[in-house]
Structure 1
């Protein structure tokens, strides 16, 4: 159990997406949910995104995983980063739960790093919100003010920048945390061998939103209405402002109708950027299997990283990993219980399964590998 020492209301009002904050003692008596050996083991796996960052004089080299041999890197000046550890290591779930005062649709992943003395990734700017939690060891963090910064080497495709003047310069120890909103430059220097946790929250870009809605219109063969006009220009080569605005109004009309945009949003926001560790059964369960397992004391757990979302104003559906699940004839309170909880203990799962409809939904989720019996 991880209890965050933070005035959430004050944080959301004064700091969230506004300015960085150092939170000393964010977790009292913090215990790392994963060790360095376990992290290195995850980085050996082909399906898990990992990388080594080597710190060189005035430069950094990135080696993409999987990583099997660490002896080649020596004892200093390197860092291992493993993405979406929460997808593959269930013991990290309680730590993620401590940050659910931010909605699930924003949550991106838990990245865990192991760094030797001198390891780091250099000055850079992220386009998402991040909580940087210190585990074992110590790291020095510097954060700069928002501003116009030169991309390192003139490469506009990198988040790295040349450098910045710090407005925060702090050493984090176990249980300390730093919050950084999008757009603030920052960098870390590892003082002693350290484990660190990056809890990231991301919102979709305009590109992603438009692409998702366009895909939905194509998939459903909708949005076929064409622009019409009441007048034409005197010059055949001219596209009048009236016509330009009329075409854009066609888009605005779609975006104002929930039946067009809610499905696209639900699918987009419930998808993960990183692969899930699905738990598909060798032989599909049937209803008798489910009820027997519950009678034997089984619990129903969600696989790590799976997003189960409801859209306000759309009470008849759940959006799970980009899929749409009908919830018609289900009690809203039951839908919310399923969406809100990472795990259903035996009593909760048994109570929900008194409803034949939600029992069928849970069975479908088990057979998809999105949930598993524990």
Structure 2
């Protein structure tokens, strides 16, 4: 896909300075003449698969209901007030992945996925807030957005969705195909379909510090080294056997305070954490893989590309791929960072690969993480 402008007359630097994480932005004809890249029928079929995350939201007779996929049945498209949400479409479709990658003026470490929302007339998911930045690209039909920077985030009780109880919008927009709305985190909004419509949501992950902290402590369990064990050779008789003594508390505190972590520990954790595939993602190993020599010969002619499902990042001498990390030399890092940034390597670049890189590429190919170009 040819590189798109996306931001209208605003440069990425201007957009990040003025809008990103700060305030909404409506971009008319962000992609002029845009049309759905996935048909309605293909989306419905995708929602029936067990390897695709999907949800059906209905508001029939003023009652909110939600059903998680895989979905055996979809309501008639002539019926009003329902919405189909299909998450991670970029993991399953090349065109969706290519569209998602158009947003690479933002870091891959923040990029989450492309979700498609299909709705019949009046369909929506109610007024709500998201905890992440999102671009809402209209692909088909018209969707009316009402938004507001309200402080009251009280939710309705007794409904299966996080719907705001007192929504107070301050602005309203009708988005046509090719128009796009950017919303920063925790900005109240509601989108309602005017007739049949499809909206693409490009979301950016923002893990909570609590989530990061819990995951980091789990990560550090493999690195903690505290030799010895508790001892109290000077123990004296007690008249309060149920009390934890000050001496025991002091001794254990002194040992646990020896647990230290470095900036490198955090870098390794962050790279592995951010590149770890979601639980719903699976790779299919090559059934009859080529030998290393044959693979490199073909790769040198065709080039290679990362699988849609692969997440590859780097920091300093460290390279991360699908939750794994390793340190590389400066020369190898130069080559692998091109693969991570561009998600492809041409044959000319592959011809310069060291044996270590060649073996890594071959291993990723065998696991289905990397593909030979056709």
TM-score range with shorter-chain normalisation?
0.7 to 0.9
Q: Are 1:87 and 1:277, in contact at CA under 8 Å, matched by a contact in 2?
A: no
CA gap 1:223/1:78 in 2 versus in 1, 3 angstroms: farther
Partner of 2:335: 334
1-side partners of 2:198 and 2:278: how far apart?
Answer: 23
After superposition, the C-alpha distances for 1:294-351 in whole angstroms (9 at most, x for unaligned) are 35x433121114211112xx31x21112111342464332121121122234444x34
Q: 1:262 aligns with which of 256, 259, 267?
A: 267
TM-score by length of 2: 0.85
Per the alignment, in what secondary structure is the counterpart of residue 318 of structure 1?
strand
Instruction: Spell out the pairing of 1:278-293 with structure 2 (5 A cutoff).
Output: 278-293=283-298
In 1, Cα distance between equivalents of 2:121 and 2:74: 15
Q: Structure 1, residues 219-250: CA drift from partner, whole Å, max 9, x if none?
A: 23447899xxxxxxxxx9999xxx9xx99x94
Q: Deviations over 1:68-119 (max 9, x none)?
A: 3224675321111111000111111221121111100111111112111111
Q: 1:358/1:273 Cα in 2 relative to 1: closer, same or farther (>3 Å)?
A: same
CA contact (8 A) 2:150 2:168 kept: no
SS at match of 2:157: helix
User: What SS does the corresponding residue of 2:326 show, helix, strand or coil?
Assistant: strand
Whether 1:323 aligns to 2:324 is yes
Once the two structures are TM-superposed, the CA of residue 53 in structure 1 deviates from its matched residue by 0.8
CA distance in 1: counterparts of 2:225 and 2:214, whole angstroms = 15
Structure 2 partner of 1:217:
220
Deviation at 1:199, TM superposition (A): 0.4
Kindly report which structure 2 residues correspond to 1:1-374, keeping only aligned pairs within 5 A, or say none. 1=2, 2-4=4-6, 5=8, 6-71=10-75, 74-153=78-157, 159-222=162-225, 250=257, 254-255=260-261, 257-273=262-278, 275-276=280-281, 278-294=283-299, 297-311=301-315, 314-315=316-317, 317-328=318-329, 330-348=331-349, 350-353=350-353, 355-374=354-373
Aligned pair count?
354
RMSD after superposition? 2.9
Larger radius of gyration: 2
1:263–1:305 Cα change, 3 Å:
same
How far apart are the structure 2 equivalents of 1:189 and 1:149? 20
**Aligned-residue offset at 1:363:** 1.0
Q: Distance in 1 between matches of 2:337 and 2:56?
A: 40
**C-alpha separation in 2, matches of 1:3 and 1:224:** 58
Segments of 5+ residues of structure 2 without an aligned counterpart are 230-242
What is the CA–CA distance in structure 2 between the aligned matches of 1:77 and 1:14, rounded to whole Å?
A: 36
Contact 1:142 1:170 in 2 (8 A): yes
Q: 1:327 to 1:151 in 2, by over 3 A?
A: same
**In structure 2, C-alpha distance between the alignment counterparts of 1:200 and 1:285, rounded to whole Å:** 37
User: How many Å separate the matches in 2 of 1:55 and 1:337?
Assistant: 47
What secondary structure, in the 3-state scheme, does the structure 2 residue paired with 1:18 have? coil
Aligned equivalents of 1:237, 1:215: Cα separation in 2: 27
State the distance in 2 between where 1:223 and 1:343 align: 44
The 3 A distance-change label for structure 1 pair 41 and 369 is same
Displacement after TM superposition at 1:176 (Å): 0.6
CA offsets 1:166-208 (integer angstroms, 9 cap, x no match): 1221000111111111111111110021111010001221222
